[in-house]
A = this chain, B = another copy of it.
Amino acid sequence: MPDTLPANSVGVVVPQIAQFDTPLTLSCGQTLSSYQLVYETYGELNQQASNAILICHALSGDHHAAGYHTMSDKKPGWWDSAIGPGKAIDTNQFFVVSLNNLGGCCGSTGPTSINPETNQIWGAHFPIVTVEDWVESQARLADRLGIRTFAAIVGGSLGGMQVLEWSIRFPDRLKAAAIIASAPKLSTQNIAFNEVARQSIRRDPEFHDGNYLDQETVPTNGLGLARMLGHITYLSDDAMGAKFGRQMRHDAYQYNYGIEFEVESYLRYQGEAFTKRFDANTYMLMTKALDYFDPAAQANGDLAAVLSRAQCEFLLVSFTTDWRFAPERSEEIVNALVKAGKHVSYTKIEAAEGHDAFLFPIPRYMNALSSFLTRVAKRLTTEVK
């Protein structure tokens, strides 16, 4: 962190914990008798509790979306470029809520937590959670915070799926939905990549069928591999090419299995770094939540029919070089919304960064989000008057 806080930072934030003792029955049929959610808030909730924005995180995200935890942090939260005073998600206007999802490994109840019924680490016994379960638990958190209706709910990738689910499940609890670099369901190829990631983890002998913490070990090899693979799919071919090309480590080929090309070193590093901050069971749960999400299935694949319930205004954003959730996938949602007669704006942003683009403060993208939320803020003011 810089010595002084940047003027447009939300500053030092303290994560909070909400404990829930009302049982939550999950999509899988299992019931969590109690659980906790860790969350952060930025900005101030107005008197009408009408200016709240919920941030939904993606596969490996967490509650720490903006600001710094301590003065010695090297980096701010994962979406600091978009959240803060005067930023696209403007904390001068909005009260922003960001949580770690159930099943996570950053403070919310998940596989690394203690199961209160057994006093053992949950590990592999933690139930599989879905996007629907997350939205249910997020609604309970909103209740706890006194938020009946969100001004907006915003998320990218898997986060966008949660936003979409909110619009269907609790249509009267959000005024606006921003769905970024997302899809209405995974493609076969998406599922296939997830399955390879899961197999990477499961085949690591240190995985111990998911109960590795009991064995005081961690499947770093498998989780690292899964992340290496994931990382390739988050970046565009062009972005990787521009960043590394065929840049070599040595002046000439070494003809061995050490590092020949810098991209190999980068991937190994990314994989290893990830294993130090993330839990393998959580990673597997997140990939399953992605696989299972398919709201149109309730209506024999007719997404427009399902979205006819929605009452909010929508913003959809996609990125030209995103091949994990290509623009066509966002356009499926746009088309269904149009068919259902909903209010929807859509912008496809020129960006070299592939799927990762949703994390970057690309000016046209930030402008689109900002102007969408400015309209939302304006309507709030009008309503109050």
Contacts and interface: CB of A to CB of B under 8 A. Distances in A.
Interface of A: 27-29, 127-128, 185-189, 191-193, 195-196, 198-200, 202-205, 221-222, 224-225, 228-229, 232, 235, 237, 240-241, 243-246, 253, 255-257, 260-261, 263-264, 267-268, 271, 284, 288, 291-292, 294, 323
B244 A196 contact: no
Given A232-B196, A255-B128, A263-B188, A222 B246 contact: no
Contacts of A195: 228, 261, 263-264, 267-268
Contacts of A245: 188
A199 B228 contact: yes
Contacts of A284: 257
Contact of A229 (B187, B196, B256): B196
B199 A232 contact: no
Contacts of A229: 196, 229
B240 A188 contact: yes
Given A203-B204, A255-B27, A255-B127, A196 B267 contact: yes
Contact of A199 (B27, B202, B268, B323): B268
A188 B244 contact: yes
B237 A198 contact: no
Contacts of A263: 188, 191-192, 195
A228 B196 contact: yes
A191 B261 contact: yes
A27 B256 CA distance: 12
A222 B196 contact: no
Nearest to A28: B255
Contacts of A260: 291-292
A77 B127 CA distance: 47
A221 B204 CA distance: 9
Contact of A191 (B28, B29, B221, B264): B264
Contacts of A268: 195, 199
A187 B189 CA distance: 21
Which residue of A187, A189, A245 has the most chain B CB atoms within 10 A of its CB atom? A189
A166 B288 CA distance: 47
A119 B257 CA distance: 24
Nearest to A256: B128
A277 B232 CA distance: 28
Contacts of A27: 253, 255
Given A191-B261, A199-B225, A229-B229, 5 more contacts: A186-B246, A189-B235, A192-B267, A195-B268, A198-B257
A199 B225 CA distance: 7
Which residue of A196, A200, A291 has the most chain B CB atoms within 10 A of its CB atom? A196
Nearest to A26: B255
Contact of A246 (B128, B185, B224): B185
Which residue of A186, A235, A243, A267 has the most chain B CB atoms within 10 A of its CB atom? A267
A200 B202 contact: no
